Amino acid sequence: MNLYQINFDHYSQKDSERGIYTFLVAEDEESVYEWIKSEPKVKDNMLFNSYKYNEQDGKEYEIYDDKWNVVGIESFRERMLRLGGEMYDDSVELDDLYYGKTLIGWELIKEDVLPHEWEMIQSLNIPIEVLIK
């Protein structure tokens, strides 16, 4: 199991905010993606996102190299797994911010986390979710 940090960037008409939703113990990045896509409730927040709908629309995204040459095509899911979430996607458009827009992403903090390590984090009242299959 690995420890991931689930981050967010929130943009609105007047300001923006960056922070951490929670920490997540999961087997791999695919598990993290599926967990975010399920729009879980974390403390008092729902992780609302459009992952499910973006997956269903079937849009394909071009992959560019350093010189802006197209080197491949990927689905939304593949793109999010490669980037670590919408938060790290430079092509996300931030328009129509009347109600605001929140982008979610994740980063690997530590691989091979042992149960006593995540239990210690929980004992410190740090928000952490554990996905056990």
Q: Which two tokens stand for residue 98?
A: 């009347």
Q: Which residues of the chain have pLDDT under 70?
A: 133
Report CA Rg, the chain. 16
Q: List the domain range (segments joined by +) for residue 120.
A: 2-130
Number of domains in the chain: 1
Predicted confidence at residue 126, as pLDDT, reads: 87
CA separation for the pair 124, 31 (Å, rounded): 25
Predicted confidence at residue 15, as pLDDT, reads: 85
Predicted confidence at residue 75, as pLDDT, reads: 94
Predicted confidence at residue 133, as pLDDT, reads: 62
